Amino acid sequence: MITPRTIDDISSILTQVTQIGDMSSEAFSDFDTDLVAPVLEEAGKLCMDVLAPLNQPGDKTGARLESGQVYSAPGFKDAYKAFQEGGWMGMPFPEAFGGQGLPRTLAVAVMEMVQASNMSFSLCPMLSFGAIEALLEHGSEEQKALYLPKLISGEWTGTMNLTEPQAGSDVGALKTKAVPNDDGSYAITGQKIYITWGDHDLTDNIVHLVLARLPDAPSGSRGISLFLCPKYLPDANGEAGERNGVTCIGLEHKLGVHASPTCVMEYDGAKGWLIGEPNKGLAAMFTMMNSARLQVGIQGLAQSEAAYRVARDFAAERKQGRAEGVEGSAPIINHPDVQHMLLQMRARTMAARAICYECAKSSDMSVGGSEADERKLAKEVEEILTPIAKSWSTDVGVLSASLGVQIHGGLGFMGETLASQLYRDARIAPIYEGTNGIQAIDLATRKLGLSGGEAIPRLLASFEAKCSELEASGDADLKRVAAHLAAGIKALQDVTSWMKETDMDTRLFGATAYQEMFGRVAGVTYLARGAMSAKDAGSNSAADLVGLALFLSETDLGDIAGWAVRVRSGEAMDRQKRMDLLS
């Protein structure tokens, strides 16, 4: 669910916090900040008029499987046609393949609106984003020419086929085989599970990107390759032709996102083509995964936004008890406890939005920056923020959805409410595309060592500089934010140094707490930066940004010292003590 106020908040973060206007450069020659408002307005019409009305009916109906063909929930096919014809799929992709060449930052803002309106629907284009980026980076010129125009236009959709029954996050344990054919293709045989939108009736073809092993492949993750395997083999004109040997043999029964078909896919000698080099599939997989991780972070943010709007509207109407200054029975939005819950939801939503958009902007600038050093530093920030955007935002989505149920009271626990659906839908996001624990491991190991261990301290130093600007701003509320933020940054710097020196087991025991600390500090920093920008520009959003930054600095940074203790908790409880307690 989105509202016109949602669009205002998105615009505020894009323009004041993320400062998307900085990207009106040679790299994005067709982009101008004047595009932001009309793009968001048109996307809002699609979301509010087409996608949102299908959300609850789709949850009740779901997709169905008949004779190896998956049929989407009623209305989804027409909705996808509207999405495709609107050109929404191609926004951030090269014009050479039919895209619009616009910043990824603006595209993820649009996808947030789509995801907030109908998460089940949004998962279909989300997977296509990853497939397109993998082909752009790793595909052959022939593969790009044949498949990218169809994927970027939305005429065909893409999937990621990674997981197998015996191999969840451990992709190195996969067993799907790829045997060379005489014509340069490969015969792919095996089974994949949890394949989101692995089959459907929305488009004429589906392009599966499949991890498999060559006959002479090394064991483990070093021996996996990536293959392109379409549902229908393209004919001489590049159109969907003969059916390939890939079939959906089952649909998973899930806690939420019922209208998104999660498929068990059977490959029986299906014809596929190698993407990139043999046994180098891991690099291509991570191209898909990193794209998906930011998109899933946006998804968590979107569910938080939807939960807030639903809960806020309910609280404004639901009357119960008495409140100061209100005659008679008061709408529950007047009760301080409800106000506190709603403020948590809105403030954390805005902070998550700021983190995700900053990650997207860094991705844009890592390829579009005018100087090599600018591109290098932007890539560092993207690398650091990706696990935080994915994990912190999806945790916020679950928290906000839970608070939304709480605000609805007993009614929120009833299955017919949107509040309960949002809670069920949001719960998957911390799990897939690398669980949030895996994101914490990534942050505390690979990202901690990025650029010789200097990347994270460099980012924290930029936070520190921004904090000094807040202190010098002359605004009493921003000075108060600065005091809390300074303490938070110092605590995060201290545990960062400690993590570099401690043993790996102790470090990983505190990794999730470290990730939480990082998200809190980053969220307040970005909101406060936007608040200063908005005040300087005389923007109507200034008061909101200042107030929300202040609220989060008091709440999410108020207990930052306790989180630092949690990061170090492995010192007091070594591995053996933990295992003994788990007996």
Condensed to tens digits (0 to 9), the pLDDT of residues 189-223 reads 999 999 999 999 999 999 999 999 999 988 887 88
Confidence band for 170, pLDDT divided at 50, 70 and 90: low
Section 42-59 average pLDDT? 97
The amino acid that residue 492 corresponds to is L
Residue 384 phi/psi, 5-degree rounding, is: -70, -45
Q: Write down the pLDDT at residue 344.
A: 97
Mean pLDDT along residues 117-133 = 96
**Contact call for residues 181 and 187 (beta carbons, < 8 A):** yes
User: Is 70 exceeded by the pLDDT of residue 171?
Assistant: no
Q: pTM value?
A: 0.95
Model pLDDT, residue 168: 58
Please list the residues that pair with 562 across neighbouring strands.
none
Instruction: Give the 3-state secondary structure of residue 440.
Output: helix
pLDDT on residue 30: 77
Q: Mean of the pLDDT values across residues 556-577?
A: 93
Q: Please state at what angle helix 336-368 crosses helix 542-555, rounded to 10 degrees.
A: 110
- The whole-chain average pLDDT of the chain stands at 94
Percent of the chain predicted with pLDDT > 70:
98
**Given the structure tokens 């600007």, which residue do they identify?**
469
| Other beta carbons less than 10 A from residue 302's beta carbon | 33
Least confident of 21-30, 368-377, 457-466: 21-30
C-alpha closest to that of 354 among 108, 147, 149: 108
**Which pLDDT score is estimated for 167?**
67
HEC assignment per residue over 257-269 = CCCCCEEEEEEEE
Encoding tokens for residue 32?
């101008």
Place 26 in a pLDDT band, splitting at 50, 70 and 90. low
From 305, 358, 433, 516, the catalytic residue: 433
When pLDDT is cut at 50, 70 and 90, the band that residue 172 belongs to is low
Out of 215-219, 329-333, 447-451, 530-534, pick the least confident: 215-219
pLDDT digits (tens, 9 = 90+) for 134-157: 999 999 999 999 999 999 999 999
**Rounded average pLDDT over 19-46:** 87
**Annotated catalytic, 433?**
yes
Mean pLDDT of 258-263: 97
Residue 109's pLDDT is 97
